[in-house]
Amino acid sequence: MEIKENNIIFLIGAGCSKEADIPISNEMVSKLQDKLSAEPDWKKYQDLYFYLKSSIEYSEGIFGNFESSFNIEKLLIVMAQLEQRDKNIFYPFIGSWNIRLPEVAGDNFEKITELKRLINRELYEWVTPKDLIEKASYYSGFKRLSNEIGKPLKIFSLNYDQCFEKVIGEDDVNQGFDPKTFEWQQSNFEADNLFKLYKLHGSINWYSDKHTGKLMYSNHPVLNPELIFGIDTKLRSSDPYLYFTSEFRGALLSQDCKLIVTIGYSYADDYINNLISQALINNPSRKVLNITKSENENNLKENLTSQKLDFKQSYNKHCKNQFDLLNISAKTFLNDNISADFLSKFIIDDTDAPFK
Nearest to 305 by CA among 262, 355, 258: 262
Q: Any idea of the CA torsion for 182, 185, 190, 191, to the nearest 10 degrees?
A: 0
Instruction: Tell me, yes or no, if the pTM score tops 0.75.
Output: yes
Helix (H) or strand (E) holding 121: helix 110-126
| Mean pLDDT, each 10-residue run in order, the chain (356 residues) | 90 96 91 95 96 91 75 84 77 76 92 92 88 96 95 94 96 94 93 92 91 91 73 56 93 96 90 90 92 77 70 58 91 97 89 48
Which amino acid is it at 193? N
Q: Which CATH class is domain 8-22+131-352?
A: alpha beta
Taking CA 266 as the corner, what is the angle to CA 129 and CA 237, rounded to the nearest 5 degrees? Answer: 85
* Domain assignments of the chain as residue spans, ordered by start: 8-22+131-352, 25-126
Pairing, β 202-203 against β 226-227: antiparallel
pLDDT at position 67, please?
66
Report DSSP state, residue 139: G
